[in-house]
Structure 1
Amino acid sequence: MFEFLRSYVIYLAFLSGLIGLFSLPKLPGNKAKFLVLLIWFSIIIEIVGYYFNYWTGLLNYYVYNFYMFASFTAYILLLRALLTKINNRLLAILFLILFIVSFFLNILYFKEDTNRSFTYSFAIGVLLVLILSCLYLVEIFNSNKILNFKKSVFFWYVLGILVFHVPFTPFMLAINWFLIKQDESVFSLVLFILNLLAHCCFIIGFVWSEKKYNY
């Protein structure tokens, strides 16, 4: 019934990506512009993932596993750049190493059948990003940035990441651990709603943020 919604996710990304491009003047540094790059990278992945089976005859798990690895690596590096306390920045590096190791262990574990979703690496990535995001928010709330945190594009982008990944993780784990049959209609509906919420956060960040708070 809702299977068609899966194909509309890319239009949400296009919308937030275009608004991000129009907002570039208020995104002064490479760190802020990197957010727009990540959105357009996700658009490219969606396009490649859609045609991957047609081009290669293989399922598109290879594409989305690569995207998962690249995106979580980018999220951790972004959060490290946003963190100010040295201990938190060092923890981010440790988390990055841990995530990379978990990803390649996942490959070794499923070396006989790598054409499948790396759910465990995804869950670990979400947990690590969640911890770093909490540290980032704690730093904000314990500084003078608390007065204008809503005017920072970084706050809204991190919120968008959490809004999508935190609810989506138990959904994926339930399918994997409890062998629940994946209903494409339900899967597409959940995916669309979470993407809608995430991209709304991104768009709010681009529109509402002010240049002086985006460094």
Structure 2
Amino acid sequence: MFEFLRSYIIYLALLSGIVGLFSLPKLPGNKAKFLVLLIWFSIVTEIVGYYFTQWTGLLNFYVYNFYMFASFSAYILLLRALLNKINHRVCAAIFLVLFIVSFFLNLLFFKEDLNRSFTYSFAIGVLLVLILSCLYLIEIFNSEKILNFKKSVFFWYIFGILVFHVPFTPFMLAINWFLIKQDESIFSLVLFILNFLAHSCFIIGFIWSEKKYNY
């Protein structure tokens, strides 16, 4: 019933990507502009993923596993750049190494069948990003930034990726661990709702943020 919703996800990404482009004047540094780049990277991934099977005859797990690796690495690097305390930044660097190692272990473990989603690496990536996001929020709440944190595009972007990934992870693990049959209609509905919430956060961040808080 809801299978068609999955094809509309790209329009949500396009909307937030276009809003991001129009918001570039108040995204002064490379860190802020990097957020727009990440959104457009997801758009390209959705397009390539949609046509990948048609072009190559292979399932598109290759595309989405690569996207998962690249995006989580980017999230960790972004959070490292946003963290101020040295020990938190060191922790982020260690987490990046852990995630990369987990991905390649996943790759080696399932080398006989690469045509599958790397669920374990995804879950590890979400956990690491969640921990770093908590450290980021703790730093904000213990500084003067608490007064204007809602005017920072970074807060809304981090909130957006958490809104998507944290609820989606148990859903994916339930399918993988408990061998629940994946209903494409429910899967598409969940994916659309979480993407809608995430891109809404991105758009709010681009519109509501102020240039002086986006450094």
The bucket for the TM-score relative to the shorter chain is: over 0.9
Structure 1 residue aligned with 2:10 = 10
Q: Partners in 2 of 1:80 and 1:152 — Cα distance?
A: 16
Structure 1 residue aligned with 2:84 = 84
1:166 aligns with 2:166: yes
Identical aligned residues as a percent: 87
So what's the TM-score if we normalise by structure 1?
1.00
Letter in 2 for 1:130: L
Q: Aligned residue pairs: how many?
A: 215
- How far the C-alpha of 1:115 sits from its partner, in A, is 1.0
Q: Partners in 2 of 1:85 and 1:149 — Cα distance?
A: 18
- 1:32-181 aligned at under 5 Å gives the runs 32-181=32-181
Query: For structure 1, which runs of at least 5 residues remain unmatched after alignment?
Result: none
Structure 2 residue aligned with 1:29 = 29
Q: Partners in 1 of 2:117 and 2:199 — Cα distance?
A: 23
Q: Partners in 1 of 2:23 and 2:47 — Cα distance?
A: 24
- How far the C-alpha of 1:27 sits from its partner, in A, is 0.1
Letter in 1 for 2:210: E
Q: Deviations over 1:128-155 (max 9, x none)?
A: 0000000000000000000000000000
Q: Partners in 2 of 1:128 and 1:156 — Cα distance?
A: 18
Letter in 2 for 1:60: N
Q: Partners in 1 of 2:16 and 2:112 — Cα distance?
A: 38
The Cα RMSD (Å) is 0.2
Q: Partners in 1 of 2:138 and 2:182 — Cα distance?
A: 37
Q: Partners in 2 of 1:114 and 1:124 — Cα distance?
A: 18
Letter in 2 for 1:134: C
Letter in 1 for 2:18: L
Letter in 1 for 2:182: Q
Structure 1 SS opposite 2:47: helix
Structure 2 SS opposite 1:100: helix
So what's the TM-score if we normalise by structure 2?
1.00
Q: Partners in 2 of 1:176 and 1:21 — Cα distance?
A: 37
Structure 2 SS opposite 1:9: helix
Query: For structure 2, which runs of at least 5 residues remain unmatched after alignment?
Result: none
Q: Deviations over 1:63-104 (max 9, x none)?
A: 000000000000000000000000000000000000000000
Q: Partners in 2 of 1:111 and 1:65 — Cα distance?
A: 13
